[in-house]
Amino acid sequence: MTASLNINPPVHTRIRKNVYQSALASLYRKKERWNELNDDRRAYQREKKLDKERLSNKKLYAIYGKKYYKLIGDDGDYYVLEDALKNLPASQFKIDIYKYSFTGMEEDRVQMKVDKEDNNIYISTENRGVNFKLYKIESIMI
Concatenating the DSSP letter of every residue in 12-63 gives HHHHHHHHHHHHHHHHHHHHHHHHHHHHHHHHHHHHHHHHHHHHTTB-EEEE
Q: List pLDDT tens digits, range 113-125.
A: 888 777 788 898 8
Q: Is the pLDDT of residue 96 over 80?
A: yes
Is the Cβ–Cβ distance between 74 and 140 less than 8 Å?
A: no
Q: Is the pLDDT of residue 137 over 80?
A: yes
- How does the average pLDDT of the chain come out, rounded? 83
Average pLDDT rounded to a whole number, residues 36-64: 88
Q: What is the pLDDT of residue 80?
A: 92
Q: What is the pLDDT of residue 120?
A: 83
Q: What is the pLDDT of residue 37?
A: 95
Task: Give the type of residue at 134.
Answer: L
Lowest mean pLDDT segment, chosen from 59-63, 110-114, 118-122:
118-122
Q: Is the pLDDT of residue 10 over 90?
A: no
Lowest mean pLDDT segment, chosen from 5-19, 42-56, 75-89:
5-19
Average pLDDT rounded to a whole number, residues 89-112: 87
What confidence category does residue 13 fall into, taking pLDDT thresholds of 50, 70 and 90?
A: low
